[in-house]
Structure 1
Amino acid sequence: MRHYSIAVIPGDGIGPEVINESLKVLKTLEELHGGIRFSYEYFDWNCQYYLQNGRMMPKDGLEQLKNHDVILFGAVGDPSVPDHISVWELILPIRKGFQQYVNLRPIRLLRGIDSPLRYKDHDDLDFIVVRENTEGEYSDMGGRLHAGTPFEMAIQNNVITRQGSERILQYAYSLAERRKKKHLTVATKSNAINHTMTFWDEVVNEVRKDYPHIQTQLYHIDALAAYFVMKPESLDVVLGSNLFGDILTDLGAAIVGGLGLAPSGNINPEKQFPSMFEAIHGSAPDIAGKGIANPIAQIWSVSLMMDHLDLPELGKLVLDSIEDVLVEGIVRTPDLGGSCTTKEMGDAIVAQMKKSALTKNI
């Protein structure tokens, strides 16, 4: 019997709603597999916690999380708390403190979904973005000078390190080695950002020598954004810095059906610390409490979690079941043109998992 400890942070807005559906999926995986058990510890760290305590999590928050195998994260953000506080005091400390230097975001057109790109089909839209997750443009280096005067200024530094660049490149190459196309596309902007991005390019060109069997291309971020729309079939593994990867993956989500279908994993590949799995859609306060949020992205993140825990057959079961429900087309949330609730979508996926497991000998 394998036992896995999961820290659950439901967060704000629709976070608790979609987390509930992913927990049903985890319970179903336990029932179907028989050889695994999940235990949970819940943490009420969100914007309400901030309003009551003046911080997004306790001072020893990372210490409380570190002994868990993985973290299941809902969403963070509420109009009552500025976004830079909720993000910089909860998500980013976890990512950086636990060296979750890989942000993994699949861009895949699921069966049963049509892309807004009318001339692209499912074979054209199936790649994955690796986003550097601990430095780059989201480094907390900078500040303000002459605040409150006409001379006020703000500086935010973009930090690119050799170690950070090498390790994210090595991860991206190892991922490309396991995929059919064996192709890595790297985002840059060295024609205009002449210090950090030229250094990034130099490290790319050094590391690529160790992977001569992987086709490697460097593209300026603006051209690469156009390729996401015009020729996504040319992409396999895409690597970007923190900001570039963040922007590209929202664009990627848009071309495969929307943010309700976009999962992510914040990965510590060495498993020295827990990795964290979440949807990328945010807390969506405008629909919170209505019971209509699409839980697919959060449930798909459970599939990524299973892959990380070396349970790929369970990860595949979850993803295949999501697609089977979408292909059937009966249960759809409003963002997918239907009228079903968050719970109904989660229930349909769980029912399909149980049905599929009978034929797959899980």
Structure 2
Amino acid sequence: MALPLYLVGLSHKTAPVEVRERAALDPAVALPAALRRLGKAVVLSTCNRTEIYGVGAPEEAKALLRERGVEPRYLYVKEGMEVLRHLFRVAAGLDSLVVGEAQILGQVREALFLARAHKATESLLEKAFQSAIALGKRARSETAIGAGAVSVAYAALDLAQAVYGDLTGLTVAVLGAGEMAELFLTHLRAHGVGRVLVVNRTAERAKALAERLGGEAFALEALPQVLAEADLVVASAAAPHYLVRPEDLPRRAKPLFLIDIALPRNIDPRVGRLPHAYLYNLDDLQRVVEKNLKARLGEVPKVEALIEKALGDYLEWYAGHRVREAIRALEERLLREVAKEFPHADPLTWHKEAGRRAHPLILALKAQARP
């Protein structure tokens, strides 16, 4: 039972970033044009992959990507069941740069919605993507494939939650105003922290980040004041020397937790020996990340079992779909024949006669489709 699906794509596994950039299809212009050219297709385009899923022959999809400067050696081409298996692995997070990451499932859903918006889907693709989305949800709810922090920013957040339990109302200081600082602050804001104090060598950058995330900006000279007020300090500044040394910490009655995710380090390791100061560095977080990633990899066989079940379900649906399509084509053909034989009869007579002739043939088609 040949499945007429194809996949042409490239990903972080087959192509460097400069090639993936050329292949990427922006949703405003390039994607609609590609869908018009391809006919019936769904395009999954992210920073790590561009994949074209379609029905029929893959030649046009290959040509489209070649015209965007993608050499054939960077492409993978799959057909039939291997298309489904790959799509299901992608939706479950097994083909991601970080195994089990959750963002890809939303991207698969968005790819389907965009194809629908441009009237580029059909029944096989619709069912394939709906099945992939359902499978991705099951993988995350029935296994631990997405459990535990596997990025430094998430690991730092996990550590903060482990220390404090509830982060609501805490005063958090962040040293640095770069991408890592912003990512961590975004996570913190989602967990209801109180005050957010942003410290940076360049006051303008501190102010810009603080305004975006509802915090307070401080220049580096104000660091002693910030350390006196904070419950939790996260350091991610680009600095060639320590920004926090033992002599910088004021005496305090309540403990201060410090997480140093900068490289080179921002916090002098001697700070961790002070009373009421608890210091964690990048190595501590990396051990958490590696442990969680190992645990995720242990869940892969469970996800693979869900994928095989989903593949079986799709094939069962496809068998019924083929019968339904064959019956529809048969009924249309017989109706044309009857109308030609009895040109003066009314439409009701045509349908009755076509139905009578179709009945034994439909029973034969259904019998052939049974396993």
TM-score of the superposition, structure 2-length normalised?
A: 0.22
Asked which structure has the greater CA Rg, the reply is: 2
Structure with bigger helix share is: 2
Greater length-normalized contact order (CA 8 Å, ≥ 6 residues apart): 1
TM-score of the superposition, structure 1-length normalised?
A: 0.23
Structure with bigger strand share is: 1
